[in-house]
Amino acid sequence: MIKIGNIELPDHPLLLAPMEDVSDPPFRRLCKAHGADLMYSEFISSEGLIRDAMKSRMKLDIFDYERPVGIQIFGGDEEAMEQSAQIVETVQPDLVDINFGCPVKKVVSKGAGAGVLKDVDLMVRLTKAVIKGTSLPVTVKTRLGWDEESINIDEVVERLQDVGVQALTVHARTRAQMYKGHSDWTHIERIKNNPRIHIPIFGNGDIDSPQKAKEYRERFGLDGMMIGRAAIGYPWIFNEIKHYEKTGELLAPPTMKDRLEAAKNHLIWSMEWKGERLGIVEMRRHYTNYFKGIHGFKAHRQRLVTEDDPQQLLRIFEEIEDFYKDYVIEHL
């Protein structure tokens, strides 16, 4: 059993990554239903929380059915990070996570996210500020380093553990790599084997199949792994990984009916949470992923992304289900 503060997780838990404009409550609900063990919110700007920015505040929404769930914050100012941790605690998540890994320019240019990898002293001060601002367990998600020449994850993990971080997830790429190239988990393996490290260490990057998850679990011996992009439009990956690790057999792929039900629920829950119009519009980017590899789906997708009436959208789902009633999906 893996413990983060008072949170108890199963052996080798599967975590849902905090992904901007993806890991909202409707998507987390789907992933929870399909086997995710620990959820994270989208990352939230500490400055936005303090300014009472509506989008940032909305990201604080969590629900009991998705627990355990963490809220992730980012920022480059110690006072703002402490205050945002205090605000986060008021909605009672199970933990607070700090983003020291986001590589996008608009975050890095503010000295936040992966930008902090160039200043480990600042990273430590920001972490201490968050720990000071909350009684909840504090965890961190970060990267190997700024670039290949400045991989400093060994120092980062030791120093963050020393100031009270209770678990750490490492995306096994540098900031310079963004999301390209191959992740290198050997660096995370080295951290895990450091006799000084006693907090749970989770790996992230390129886990896109049950076979790879099992291989990485056996090869690198980490406490668990975080799934990100592979879960977008495919929440089944969590239970598929668990089943394969337990039995050595692949689950049958989700049927067309399974995919339609997931997409339809995602749409309904998005409308409930975001409001009808925004829920419909923001759901449009997900259809391609739910129906990737389905022969002849382009015309159906076009109808889904151009329809604005919720009742008509639900009728389109029924028509698609009838159209594909005899369609057999093999492993893609």
Structure tokens at 125: 């001060």
Residues in the chain: 332
Spatial distance between the Cα atoms of 184 and 26, rounded to a whole number of angstroms: 31
* Helices 153-163/120-133 angle, 10° precision: 30
What are the tokens at 271? 């409308």
Over 257-295, what HEC string results? HHHHHHHHHHHHHHHHHHCHHHHHHHHHHHHHHHCCCCC
CA–CA separation, 313 vs 307, rounded Å?
6
Check if the beta carbon of residue 142 is closer than 8 Å to that of residue 180: no
- Distances in Å between the Cα of 274 and the Cα atoms of 19, 33, 131, 311 are 17, 20, 31, 17
CA distance 239 to 244: 8
- Check if the beta carbon of residue 182 is closer than 8 Å to that of residue 172: no
In angstroms, the CA 321 to CA 75 distance is 45
For residue 83, give the H/E element and its range.
helix 78-89
Number of alpha helices (DSSP H) and beta strands (DSSP E) in the chain: 15, 10
31 part of the active site: no
Using CB atoms within 10 Å of the CB of residue 251, give its burial: 0 to 12 exposed, 13 to 18 middle, 19+ buried. Answer: middle
What are the tokens at 177? 């790599």
Q: Which of 15, 87, 102, 114 is labelled catalytic? A: 102
Residues with catalytic function: 102
